[in-house]
């Protein structure tokens, strides 16, 4: 699907949580769900989306529970960085539309995008 958006979160989602601090990206769904339960005091099985970033802001993971198991969405940028909103709060809330803008490379506080990249080969 060239230029399209596959497996994207619904733009109509009312509340998505972004974790302000970077996390160790060796953590999978179990480690991230422990952060949701222990650090946030939230129910990781509630079907809410939680977004985490790595230390360099070049990768993100989205965790959510879907009926009978966890879904872990992972995106790694080829160039540039995700523009993470700054806040004193540990956990920030955004909408599904804002999350899709973030996935597209926008700085959601300024609505400025990354440039689009086109590659012919991974080697």
Residue range 83-115, pLDDT digits in tens: 887 767 778 888 888 898 888 887 777 655 556
pTM for the whole structure: 0.81
Condensed to tens digits (0 to 9), the pLDDT of residues 32-86 reads: 999 999 999 999 999 899 999 999 999 999 999 999 999 999 999 888 898 887 7
pLDDT score recorded for residue 41: 96
Query: What number of CA atoms fall less than 13 Å from residue 14's CA on the CB side?
Result: 0
- Asked if residue 121 belongs to a domain, the reply is no
Structural domain contains residue 34 = yes
In a domain? residue 89: yes
What pLDDT is stored for residue 112 in this prediction?
57
Averaged pLDDT of the chain: 85
Does 20 have pLDDT greater than 50?
yes
Number of domains in the chain: 1
96 in any annotated domain? yes
Task: Please give the pLDDT value at position 3.
Answer: 53
* Closest among 105, 25, 6, 119 to 63, alpha carbons compared: 25
50 found inside a domain:
yes
Residue 4 lies in a domain: no
**pLDDT for residue 1 is more than 50:** no
The tokens describing 58, both together, are 């070049």
Instruction: Tell the burial category of 119 from Cβ atoms under 10 Å away from its Cβ (0-12, 13-18, 19+).
Output: exposed
Domain with 79 in it: 16-103
Q: Which 8-state DSSP code applies to residue 83?
A: -
- Domain contains 112: no
Judged by DSSP in three states, 89 sits in coil
pLDDT at 19 over 80: yes
Please, which pLDDT band fits residue 123 given cuts at 50, 70 and 90? confident
**What would the two tokens of residue 41 be?**
């005091």
């Amino acid at each position: 699907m060239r230029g399209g958006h596959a497996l994207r979160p619904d733009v109509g989602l009312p509340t998505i949580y972004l974790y302000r601090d970077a996390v160790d990206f060796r953590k999978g769904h179990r480690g991230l769900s422990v952060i949701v339960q222990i650090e946030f005091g939230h129910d990781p099985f509630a079907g809410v989306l939680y977004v985490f970033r790595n230390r360099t802001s070049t990768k993100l993971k989205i965790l959510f529970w879907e009926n009978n198991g966890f879904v872990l969405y992972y995106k790694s940028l080829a160039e540039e960085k995700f523009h993470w909103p700054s806040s004193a709060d540990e956990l920030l809330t955004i909408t599904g539309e804002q999350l899709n803008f973030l996935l597209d490379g926008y700085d959601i506080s300024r609505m400025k995008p990354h440039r689009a990249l086109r590659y012919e080969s991974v080697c």
